[in-house]
């Protein structure tokens, strides 16, 4: 099943669950206009087809004690596949790294690191980031303020 195969009811299920993953099947069925059993079947099919990839709770980042985000451009000394793979495996072990993207352009990767403050980032930079395999250059930029942060993926109408 692909997103293009979904009808308006499937799309509605996805919209509602993205907004509130804690909806009960009874609540969801009422919102999308299905019987409880039909709604449950559709949700199970969306899960089995991996359109629904999982369910999470989102924690307030500031409440975690690490309110800051630093965007880090990482350039490796080699772009050979085995070097990229070693870096990618190692970066997964840095707890403060929340996202990592392989990029085109000047940097090989962009990662988002959550921090308490500049001193905390300095420690993460020296103890973790510079020790990742193959790192040749690191450029960092502190986010001053979050303007928008979305978790809901927009679904185009058919």
For 10-67, the pLDDT digits (tens) are 999 999 999 999 999 999 999 999 999 999 999 999 999 999 999 999 999 999 999 9
Do both 41 and 66 map to the same domain? no
Indicate the pTM of the whole model: 0.86
Q: Is the residue at 98 inside a domain?
A: yes
Q: Is the residue at 118 inside a domain?
A: yes
Q: What is the CATH number of the domain that holds 19?
A: 1.10.10.10
Sheet of strand 109-115: strand arrangement = 97-102, 109-115, 68-76, 135-142
Q: Is the residue at 115 inside a domain?
A: yes
pLDDT in tens, 75-88: 999 999 999 999 99
Domain count, the chain: 2
Q: Is the residue at 156 inside a domain?
A: no
Give, to the nearest 10 degrees, the angle between helix 36-48 and helix 25-32: 100
Q: What is the CATH number of the domain that holds 129?
A: 3.30.70.920
CA 113 to chain centre: 13
Exposure string for 86-124, b = 16+ CB within 10 A, e = fewer: bbeeebeebebbeebeeeeeebbbbbebbbeeeebbeeb
Range of the domain at 86: 62-142
What residues pair up with 111 in beta bridges, in sequence order? 72, 100
Q: Is the residue at 8 inside a domain?
A: yes
| 3 band by pLDDT with thresholds 50, 70 and 90 | confident
Q: Is the residue at 66 inside a domain?
A: yes
- Return the minimum-mean-pLDDT range out of 109-113, 115-119, 153-157: 153-157
Q: Alpha helix locations (H) across the chain? A: 8-19, 25-32, 36-48, 81-91, 118-127
Do both 31 and 8 map to the same domain? yes
Q: What is the reported pLDDT for 123? A: 97
Nearest to 51 by CA among 22, 102, 17: 17
Q: Is the residue at 112 inside a domain?
A: yes
Q: Is the residue at 124 inside a domain?
A: yes
Q: What is the reported pLDDT for 5? A: 84
Q: Which residues contact 11 (CB under 8 A, 6 or more apart)?
A: 155, 157
């Amino acid at each position: 099943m692909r997103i293009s195969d979904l009808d308006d009811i499937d799309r509605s299920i996805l919209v509602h669950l993205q907004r509130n993953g804690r909806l009960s099947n009874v609540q969801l069925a009422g919102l999308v206009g299905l019987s409880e059993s039909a709604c449950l079947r559709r949700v199970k099919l969306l899960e089995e087809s991996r359109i629904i990839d999982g369910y999470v709770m989102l924690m307030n980042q500031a409440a975690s004690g690490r309110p800051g985000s630093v965007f880090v451009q990482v350039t490796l000394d080699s772009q050979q596949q085995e070097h990229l793979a070693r870096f990618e495996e190692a970066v997964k072990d840095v707890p403060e790294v929340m996202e990592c993207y392989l990029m085109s352009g000047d940097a090989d990767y962009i990662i988002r690191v959550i921090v308490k403050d500049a001193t905390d980032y300095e420690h993460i930079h020296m103890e973790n980031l510079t020790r990742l395999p193959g790192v040749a250059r690191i450029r960092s930029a502190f986010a001053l303020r979050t303007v928008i942060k979305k978790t809901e993926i927009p679904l185009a109408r058919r």
